[in-house]
Amino acid sequence: METDASFRLSTGISGLDEILDGGFIPRRAYLVRGGPGIGKTTMGLHFLTSSASQGEQVLLITLGEPEAQIRQDAQSMGFDLKDVNFLDLSPSSEFFTAVETYDIFSPAEVEREPITKMIVDQVEIVKPQRVFFDAVTQFRYLTADVFQFRKQVLSFLRFLIEQGATVLLSSESSTFLPDDDLQFICDGVINLVLEAGRQTISITKFRGSGFRRGPHTMKLGSRGIDVYPKLIPEKYVSAFTSEIVSSGVPEIDEMLHGGLERGTSTLISGPSGVGKTTLGLQFMKEAASRGERSVVYSFEEEMLATMVYRCESINIPVRSMIEHGSLSLVSIEPLRFSPDEFSSMVRREVEDRKASMIMIDSISGYTMSMSGEDLTSHLHALEKYLVSRKVTLLLVDEVKNITGEFRISESGISFLVDNIIFLRYLEINGELHKAIGVLKKRVSDFGKRLREFEITGDGLKVGNPMTGLRSLLSGRPELGDLTKKEGG
């Protein structure tokens, strides 16, 4: 008999277990509530089948959907209900075809007793460790009033729990039929919500345990439910190291006083086509030479085709990096993922495949591609998580102005990154040049001077600091010309 709160029962959905700090506490009653078609029954199937293989006895009591239908749907989703005991209390077709149905007594008077007896008999025979009751709100019609309902459900739950069961109840809730009473009775409440085309899951109550507040993204697919827990920055403790990550270009390292610190976040800002992605890949090429793995999430380019080709022509061997597993290019289709799903994807790369450098290309693409609100805070949470995992994060941010008034970022997130590297177009004597500069570095000092920067067939070429020029940041420097110009 485990009463220890540290022992948990899996819900059968790994993301939900994570939100619940490990899973359900045994011998308690939980309520899953939500509108039609949102996955309440499916969640019950996950709950029952996650342990049937371990020799536990599980029981599904259905008051709505008939057994055959549940079995059929479960099979098409890939659940094996072989070891699940059923108690089908759904009305049979005879109920409708019988010409007369009673109306002299209330259903509470007529049906409660036989139904209760069937449940008690079945529970005593099966002695289940897990019970899923679908849907408990139907019980309401079998009780005379609210008080009776509460009392019935409470004593019913007590009976199941005394038999050693952990219980999941589903509740068909709506504004017309509120289920607040059930929420008070149960030890935990799981809410499934469909809002603006997005499905979310959130816990509003969990007696005896902590849990992660939602809403978290949930997907009800053809293979059941997936839950993508929201990243919460506080959960991850930051661990600072002073290890330096080199760019592989001596002049850039010099500007950065050695390179970027591992586990910091860097904003690479600049106008379109100036070479932001290329600069990021340069860091990754160097990381690959140290045997580390990097991942690029691209939100706007048809990457695998053009980027591979482009990088190959400038001495960044993207193809062989991919083949050796030191680089992964992931193209994110617009509006397919929620921020929580994206975070889960990144976490899998970091935790399972040991990626040490992540590039998000670009922030505006991320903002446009993700459905949902409050993206800056999601990005912030992701950044904090990566930093705590000592993963170096590169955020590409495109600014609209090609030249002219200097801007660091369009997304207003420059305050949350550790480092800012910016790329600029400069017009000097009617000629277009590119320049690279460092604007912020939280951990160390950095070179304040801009340098000319070029992308050549041999890779990135960076010149000496530009001197003898004024108003570089305006994009139209005055006075003189570039005193030292290198790298043709």
Residues between 211 and 250 with contacts to another protein, criterion CB under 8 A: none
Strand partners, 357: 294, 392
Query: Which region among 44-52, 102-110, 314-322, 353-361 touches another protein (by CB under 8 A)?
Result: 102-110
Compute the least distance from the CB of residue 113 to another protein, in Å: 10
| Structure token pair of residue 170 | 């589903």
Please give the Cα distance from 275 to 287 (Å, whole number). Answer: 19
Residues between 118 and 147 with contacts to another protein, criterion CB under 8 A: 144
| Structure token pair of residue 446 | 């950095």
> Number of residues in contact with another protein, rule: CB under 8 A?
11
Compute the least distance from the CB of residue 142 to another protein, in Å: 13
Among 54, 94, 96, 100, binds another protein (CB under 8 A): 100
Which one, 68 or 98, has the nearer CB to another protein? Answer: 98
Contact between 129 and 57 under an 8 Å Cβ cutoff? The reply is yes
Which one, 69 or 106, has the nearer CB to another protein? Answer: 106
Among 7, 102, 147, 240, binds another protein (CB under 8 A): 102
Contact between 417 and 410 under an 8 Å Cβ cutoff? The reply is no
Q: Which helix (H) or strand (E) holds 147?
A: helix 146-162
Which DSSP string do the residues of 355-421 spell out, in sequence order?
EEEEEEE-HHHHHHH--SS-HHHHHHHHHHHHHHTT-EEEEEEE-S-SSSS--S-SSS-GGG-SEEE
Which one, 100 or 333, has the nearer CB to another protein? Answer: 100
Compute the least distance from the CB of residue 96 to another protein, in Å: 13
Which one, 80 or 113, has the nearer CB to another protein? Answer: 113
Query: Which region among 97-105, 218-226, 415-423, 435-443 touches another protein (by CB under 8 A)?
Result: 97-105
Contact between 472 and 466 under an 8 Å Cβ cutoff? The reply is yes
Compute the least distance from the CB of residue 112 to another protein, in Å: 11
Strand partners, 32: 170, 190
When asked if residue 109 is in the footprint of another protein (CB under 8 A), the reply is yes
Q: Which of 127, 110, 113, 119 is nearest to 89 (CA)?
A: 119
Among 105, 222, 431, 488, binds another protein (CB under 8 A): 105
Following CA atoms 475, 481, 483, 488 in sequence, which dihedral angle do they give, to the nearest 10 degrees?
80
Among 3, 6, 101, 222, binds another protein (CB under 8 A): 101
Which string of x and - marks every residue 299-338 that binds another protein (by CB under 8 A)? ----------------------------------------
Which one, 105 or 415, has the nearer CB to another protein? Answer: 105
Compute the least distance from the CB of residue 98 to another protein, in Å: 7
**Burial readout 202-235 (b: 16 or more C-beta within 10 A, e: otherwise):** bbeebeebebbebbbbbbbeeebbbbbbbbeeee
Positions that interact with another protein (CB under 8 A): 98, 100-106, 109-110, 144
